[in-house]
Amino acid sequence: MEGVLAQTLASGLLIGFVYALIAVGLTMIFGVMDIVNFAHGEYLMISMYFSYWFFILFGMDPLYSLPAITLIMFGIGIITYYIAIRPIINAPMLSQIFVTFGLLIFLRGVAQFLWKVDYRMIPETLASGNINLAGIYIGRPQLVAAVGAILCYGVILWFLKNTKTGMALEAVAQDKEAARLMGINSNRMFALSWGIGIATVGIAGVLLSTFFYVFPEVGAGFCLIAFVVVALGGFGSVVGAFLAGIIVGLVEVVSGYLIDPSFKFMFVLALYLAVVFIRPQGLMGRK
Amino acid sequence: MKKGFIILLVFFIALVIYPFIFKNPFPRHLLIMIMLYGTMGIGWNIIGGYTGQVSFGNAAFFGVGAYTTAILLSKYGINPWFGMLLGCFFSSLVAVVVGYPCFRLQGHYFAIATIAVGEIVQVLFTNWEYAGAAVGIYIPILEESFFNFQFHTTKLPYYYIVLAMLACALLVCYAVEKSRLGYYFRAIKDDPEGARSLGINIQNYKLVAFILSAILTSVCGTFYAMYVLYIHPANTIDLWLSIHLCIIALIGGLGKIFGPVIGAFIFIPLTEFTRVYLGSEGQGIDLIIYALIIILLATLRPQGLWGIFAKSSS
């Protein structure tokens, strides 16, 4: 009994790190430009497909194709910004919601058209297998994904706090006017936030593809979870997203364990409602 | 205005005559769906278009309407018209329970909260054994009559019922727009702080808008249940249904009485024809087309297509 619970908590913790990584990009884009990217989960899906095709067509293991896919996703993020987002920076919120929602439908449509609704899975990767850790069995892919997520998260935090560009991003997030007066080109920062945001969700997608099915709708569930994580951590807070990711991962597995797996998603969504009602700024959000 | 009234009259006469010209089931079904979505689009428009609160959870009201009717009829033999009324009651209740806390949230926070509510309602119904869980409910076949809300030999009566629903929805929307309520709604959308400072109780009026929206959507849920005679969580409480309602209102014009009707006349045939002609080969093409429409409209013409029609009629 105790063993099962420990097992459950471990798997919740591991997936929580991946949730955190998915949410970091979302919260970053929101923090820098006050736009919620409803299509965030669809970028996850795209990168999972990239990982899948790199494996099928070139025989490249996801862990090897990771750098290339990260770069590709960075480029896709920047392109998305210039084509779809830039025209609506100053538009009413209604238009902004509809445009990123339109992106969601567009990317899902492209995936359905190109790759049909089949479920695909990378059969065997470098990360496959299990390890036994003090009586708890942990999937190696999950462990690799969690470690990768933590590393990636550390790099982002370092970048934001210690580089000039990172600090400029933070400055734009805090006060666009003041940042402009300091000579920061906010347009380039917006583009950069999309690049980094989509690249990080891309990394999460590649890591996820080592142990999760790929299909056109795969982003939907993860995107809702990412919203919950971002709201719980506080919209715009990178540190908050990390903590919240772990909490959401744990809530998901524990509620699935205690009540019923078919309800676990509901508890995660209920957590979102509870957070926005009781503490709308989230754990670490500024208000 | 007079000219607009004449155009409206001609439009309705055309709708009344339509089934006499098109006697095949498909064109009739197509128009039934257009009018059904038009009615729901008007419902969405009241909360989303007029009051500016983007709801991605309206499918929950559709589901409550459909399920109330179906459960009452299949378990207790209660008349579907009464089920329709009770459905409206329960939907209003859900609107109040959900709206009361959610309306403190703004913009994105509210939109995401409505997605969460819609998904939670779907999970609940999918796991609720009494309501048929994931399998759903078959509605018992009754003798066909207006009283029983069932027609088997011809679908024509359904056509006129939904036409009447559309007309009622337009009247409700017209009454709202011309009354004080309409001004309050638009004030809440355009300048909530200003509205508050003028003494408008924003919370309460958002709730009123949400309840109106819930009732119009719930009635459509009842109609749908009696029209297809089989409901399950995936065909009633689906996030995509909510999304379609937003798209319909956006295409026609947010906060315009006739906007959702125009939206439905463009959107529903598009979905039906892409499904029929492209089939599984063109899977996804329909999504790509909607997406481009949404993005282009939201970016270039957020007021929707309504202005184009209005110019020619005023």
Q: What is the pLDDT of residues A53-68, one digit of tens each?
A: 999 999 888 889 999 9
In this predicted structure, the answer to whether residue B293 has a pLDDT above a threshold of 60 is: yes
In this predicted structure, the answer to whether residue A287 has a pLDDT above a threshold of 70 is: no
And the tokens for B253?
């014009």
State how far the Cα of A72 lies from the Cα of A67, in Å rounded to an integer.
Answer: 9
Percent of chain B with pLDDT over 70: 95
B197 Cβ contact list (under 8 Å, min separation 6): none
CB-CB contact of A220 with A151 (8 Å): no
A266 to B123: CB separation less than 8 angstroms, yes or no: yes
pLDDT of residue B307: 64
Confidence of residue B299 (pLDDT cuts 50, 70, 90): confident
Question: Looking at residue B138, what DSSP letter applies?
Answer: E
Please indicate, yes or no, if residue B303 is contained in any of the structural domains: no
B63 Cβ contact list (under 8 Å, min separation 6): B121, B122, B125, B221, B233, B236, B237
State how far the Cα of A86 lies from the Cα of A105, in Å rounded to an integer.
Answer: 19
In this predicted structure, the answer to whether residue B238 has a pLDDT above a threshold of 90 is: no
Return the amino acid letter for B114. T
Please indicate, yes or no, if residue B259 is contained in any of the structural domains: no
- The residue of A29, A49, A101, A248 whose CB has the most chain B CBs within 10 angstroms, and thus the best one to mutate to test that interface, is A101
- Give me the domain span that covers residue B137: 26-238
Fold of A2-278: ABC transporter involved in vitamin B12 uptake, BtuC (1.10.3470)
Return the amino acid letter for B4. G
Which residue from B54, B101, B287 is facing A112, i.e. has the nearest CB?
Answer: B287
Q: Where is pLDDT greater, at A286 or A94?
A: A94
Confidence of residue B313 (pLDDT cuts 50, 70, 90): very low
- Backbone φ and ψ for A28, nearest 5 degrees, come out as -70, -45
And the tokens for B36?
């059904």
Question: Looking at residue B145, what DSSP letter applies?
Answer: B
pLDDT of residue A51: 94
The two counts, helices (H) then strands (E), for chain A are: 11, 2
B182 Cβ contact list (under 8 Å, min separation 6): B50, B176
In this predicted structure, the answer to whether residue B310 has a pLDDT above a threshold of 70 is: no
Please indicate, yes or no, if residue B209 is contained in any of the structural domains: yes
Question: Looking at residue A125, what DSSP letter applies?
Answer: -
E-only strand ranges, B52-162: 137-138
Percent of chain A with pLDDT over 70: 98
A242 Cβ contact list (under 8 Å, min separation 6): A20, A24, A153, A233
Q: Could you please report the per-residue DSSP string of B225-287?
A: HHHHSEE-HHHHS-HHHHHHHHHHHHHH-TT-TTHHHHHHHHHHHHHHHIIIIITTTTTTHHH
pLDDT of residue B279: 64
A109 to B298: CB separation less than 8 angstroms, yes or no: no
Residues of B in contact with A228 (CB under 8 A): 116
Which residue, among B60, B103, B68, B102, has the nearest Cα to B85 in the 3D structure?
B68
pLDDT of residue B42: 94
State how far the Cα of B284 lies from the Cα of B293, in Å rounded to an integer.
Answer: 14
Question: What average pLDDT does range A107-124 have in this prediction?
Answer: 86
In this predicted structure, the answer to whether residue B314 has a pLDDT above a threshold of 50 is: no
Q: Taking all residues of chain B, what is their mean pLDDT, rounded to a whole number?
A: 86
Question: Looking at residue A84, what DSSP letter applies?
Answer: I
State how far the Cα of B27 lies from the Cα of B224, in Å rounded to an integer.
Answer: 17
pLDDT of residue A269: 85
Q: Taking all residues of chain A, what is their mean pLDDT, rounded to a whole number?
A: 87
Confidence of residue A42 (pLDDT cuts 50, 70, 90): very high
Residues of A in contact with B128 (CB under 8 A): none
Report the SS3 class of residue A3: helix
State how far the Cα of B91 lies from the Cα of A237, in Å rounded to an integer.
Answer: 36
Residues of A in contact with B241 (CB under 8 A): none
In this predicted structure, the answer to whether residue A1 has a pLDDT above a threshold of 60 is: no
Please indicate, yes or no, if residue B105 is contained in any of the structural domains: yes
- Backbone φ and ψ for A110, nearest 5 degrees, come out as -60, -45
State how far the Cα of A76 lies from the Cα of A107, in Å rounded to an integer.
Answer: 12
Lowest mean pLDDT among A222-226, B43-47, B310-314: B310-314
Question: Looking at residue B151, what DSSP letter applies?
Answer: -
Which residue from A94, A108, A276 is facing B109, i.e. has the nearest CB?
Answer: A276
B116 to A94: CB separation less than 8 angstroms, yes or no: no
Q: B151-208: per-residue pLDDT in tens?
A: 877 888 899 999 999 999 999 999 998 898 888 888 888 888 888 888 888 888 999 9
DSSP β-bridge partners for residue A130? A139
pLDDT of residue A68: 94
And the tokens for B282?
């063109």
And the tokens for B138?
């078959």
- Give the count of Cβ contacts less than 8 A between chain A and B: 127
Question: What average pLDDT does range B93-100 have in this prediction?
Answer: 91
Report the SS3 class of residue A158: helix
Please indicate, yes or no, if residue B174 is contained in any of the structural domains: yes
R_g of chain B, CA atoms, integer Å: 19
pLDDT of residue B290: 81
**ipTM exceeding 0.95?**
no
The count of structural domains within chain B is 1
pLDDT of residue B281: 64
Confidence of residue A207 (pLDDT cuts 50, 70, 90): very high
pLDDT of residue B309: 60
Please indicate, yes or no, if residue B102 is contained in any of the structural domains: yes
pLDDT of residue A10: 87
The CA-to-CA distance between both ends of chain A, in Å, stands at 43
B302 to A111: CB separation less than 8 angstroms, yes or no: no
Burial label for B239, CB within 10 Å (0-12, 13-18, 19+), is middle
CB-CB contact of A263 with B123 (8 Å): yes
State how far the Cα of B58 lies from the Cα of B43, in Å rounded to an integer.
Answer: 9
Ranges of each domain in chain A: 2-278
State how far the Cα of B164 lies from the Cα of B16, in Å rounded to an integer.
Answer: 10
Percent of chain B with pLDDT over 90: 28
Burial label for B252, CB within 10 Å (0-12, 13-18, 19+), is buried
State how far the Cα of B9 lies from the Cα of B24, in Å rounded to an integer.
Answer: 25
Q: Could you please report the per-residue DSSP string of A222-286?
A: HHHHHHHHHHHH-TT-HHHHHHHHHHHHHHHHHHHHHT-GGGHHHHHHHHHHHHHHH-TTTTT--
pLDDT of residue B282: 66
Lowest mean pLDDT among B24-33, B71-80, B192-201: B192-201
Please indicate, yes or no, if residue B11 is contained in any of the structural domains: no
Question: What average pLDDT does range B12-21 have in this prediction?
Answer: 87
Q: B46-56: per-residue pLDDT in tens?
A: 998 888 888 88
Phi-psi bin for A282: left (phi > 0), alpha (psi -120 to 50), beta? left
Residues of A in contact with B287 (CB under 8 A): 105-106, 108-109, 112-113
